Chain A
Amino acid sequence: NAGVTQTPKFQVLKTGQSMTLQCAQDMNHNSMYWYRQDPGMGLRLIYYSASEGTTDKGEVPNGYNVSRLNKREFSLRLESAAPSQTSVYFCASSETGTGAFANYGYTFGSGTRLTVV
């Protein structure tokens, strides 16, 4: 009954370093999302994947890349970290479509707190 699992939970990077945030869901959801949360700004969408094999930019994609490895896994990569990327990152998944499956809301992971120094 894990839901959405994110690793790592905490990370400190130096400016210019790279890293990949991992996310996996066990609910057989089609859609997966990466958000960042900053004080006073709510959650902003970085990238999303509507289904396996597809990815699209969200509201704030600059400085990030993603990979939908399979239906379960959706990773977020920072190629060259910057202090402006200090944030809490949340992965989420959802079942989308029409009719009875129409958007029952997202299931969120517990987050990755990233600090770039």
Chain B
Amino acid sequence: DAGVIQSPRHEVTEMGQEVTLRCKPISGHDYLFWYRQTMMRGLELLIYFNNNVPIDDSGMPEDRFSAKMPNASFSTLKIQPSEPRDSAVYFCASRGTSGGYEQYFGPGTRLTVT
């Protein structure tokens, strides 16, 4: 079975540019999470969706960040305009409703903003 798919795996961009990160959750999973990980702040939850609806976006750092989930198999996280302090690894994760609450992470997108 395919796991969570993220693209791109690496992104290098200049300050001020728009960045779009993409995620395809595991088929049948109805929760999707976006995280950011840095050495200084650890793994931070940015936003999560249930059945394509944003449930909690309290972790989104500021208005420059936005996330959408137009359907059950696709989500985007957009940063506009990007800043050097946005440099981090961004993970997408998904989980189902039945069984336990464990999450399955994608390989991440390593973002560098210069």
- Chains A and B belong together in one complex: no
Point out residues on A near B: beta carbons under 8 Å. Answer: none
Chain B residues within 8 Å of A, Cβ to Cβ: none
